Amino acid sequence: MKGWETRLDTRDVDLARAQVARSYCPHSLSPTGGAFRARHAEAGVGDLGVFSLSYGEAQVRVHPDPFGDFVLFSRPLAGGLTVRGTAGETYVEPGRTVALDSRTAHDLAFGAGCRLLTIKLPTTLVGRAGAAGGRAGDIRSGLALDPRPWDAVMRLLLADVVPNGLLGTPFGASVTQLAAAAALDSFGVEPEPARRSSPAAADVVRRACEFVDGNADGAIGLLDIAAAAGVAPRTVQDHFRERLGTRQQPARRGAAALPRPVRAAGRGQRRRHRRDAVPDLA
């Protein structure tokens, strides 16, 4: 599958544990029944990790160490995942995303045939997104209170960014910042604070556009743009919608610097079913 690199395909439990730990952290791995076959693929680079993982028809228990410097967002594409931690037990069905915080020693139970798509973000970037928005930059384990912000980022990643190999480009860096802000909107320990008065929308949009146009060749994102405009990330998004009649992120202006064939390919990919953009490792 374009944009993905297979890292592992084995029936050896010890090899699977060692290889998968390179992408995540040390963990125990215990198949409890069914045919075990570990398949692991990766599409992420830099601060944003994108992974696909399955253990075949085996039911598998995974006990990772606390992550420490990163958080995970996992979505079953097939089968089911059960997450146990200090907040209790959560069953995650296909199409829903669960967040795993950086402090908890989670207990993960992969159901038979579970195929998991996981996004990995550094805690430092999530903390920066929180500071920019005037709230705690911390993720709580569990399902989303409002899945829409995170789901929008997932659609962008799977339809445009990964299939076109954009994660290693400046545009990929902008999507990484957007993902950190969306993670807080969907899974943050604190709700978004009440909107405070801000500069006029026209001034915010002007400063944001000037910053983007002046740094179009650099690895900039929503957090950089909000800082340049002197407002919270959500305020930038809202003002762009109000002034320009679009929900498009200001960072998307930077996409104009990408080669025309890549932009055209991205538009075509957007119409594909999102599940087709992830390698079938079941």
What are the tens digits of pLDDT across the range 177-201?
A: 889 999 999 999 876 655 555 567 7
Residues 256 and 152 in one domain: yes
Q: How many CB atoms lie within 10 A of CB 245?
A: 8
Residues 117 and 14 in one domain: yes
Residue 113 — very low, low, confident or very high, per pLDDT cuts 50/70/90?
very high
Q: How far is CA 49 from CA 164, 173, 227, in A?
A: 16, 12, 25
Residue 253 — very low, low, confident or very high, per pLDDT cuts 50/70/90?
very low
> What's the confidence (pLDDT) of residue 220?
77
Compare 221 and 5 and report the one with higher pLDDT.
Answer: 5
Residues 103 and 163 in one domain: no
Residue 40 is assigned to a structural domain of this protein: yes
pLDDT reading at 265 higher than 50: no
Residue 173 — very low, low, confident or very high, per pLDDT cuts 50/70/90?
confident
% helix / strand / coil in the chain, to the nearest 5? 40, 25, 35
Last residue of some domain: 95, 125, 155?
A: 125
pLDDT reading at 266 higher than 90: no
Residue 212 is assigned to a structural domain of this protein: yes
Residues 121 and 153 in one domain: no
Angle between helices 170-187 and 233-244 (to 10 degrees): 110
> What's the confidence (pLDDT) of residue 245?
60
Q: How many CB atoms lie within 10 A of CB 111?
A: 20
Residues 155 and 257 in one domain: yes
Residues 23 and 96 in one domain: yes
Q: How many CB atoms lie within 10 A of CB 5?
A: 11
Return the closest-CA partner of residue 256 out of 131, 170, 165, 168.
170
- State the CATH number of the domain containing residue 59: 2.60.120.10
pTM of the model: 0.78
- The secondary structure of residue 160, as a DSSP letter, is I
Section 88-112 average pLDDT: 96
> What's the confidence (pLDDT) of residue 233?
77
> What's the confidence (pLDDT) of residue 78?
96
Residues 165 and 206 in one domain: yes
Residue 276 is assigned to a structural domain of this protein: no
Least confident of 67-71, 127-131, 162-166, 271-275: 271-275
Residue 61 is assigned to a structural domain of this protein: yes
Q: How many domains does the chain divide into?
A: 2
153, burial (CB in 10 Å: exposed 0-12, middle 13-18, buried 19+)? buried
Residues 87 and 169: their CA atoms lie apart, in Å, by 37
SS3 assignment, position 168:
coil
Residues 116 and 47 in one domain: yes
Q: What domain range includes position 81?
A: 5-125
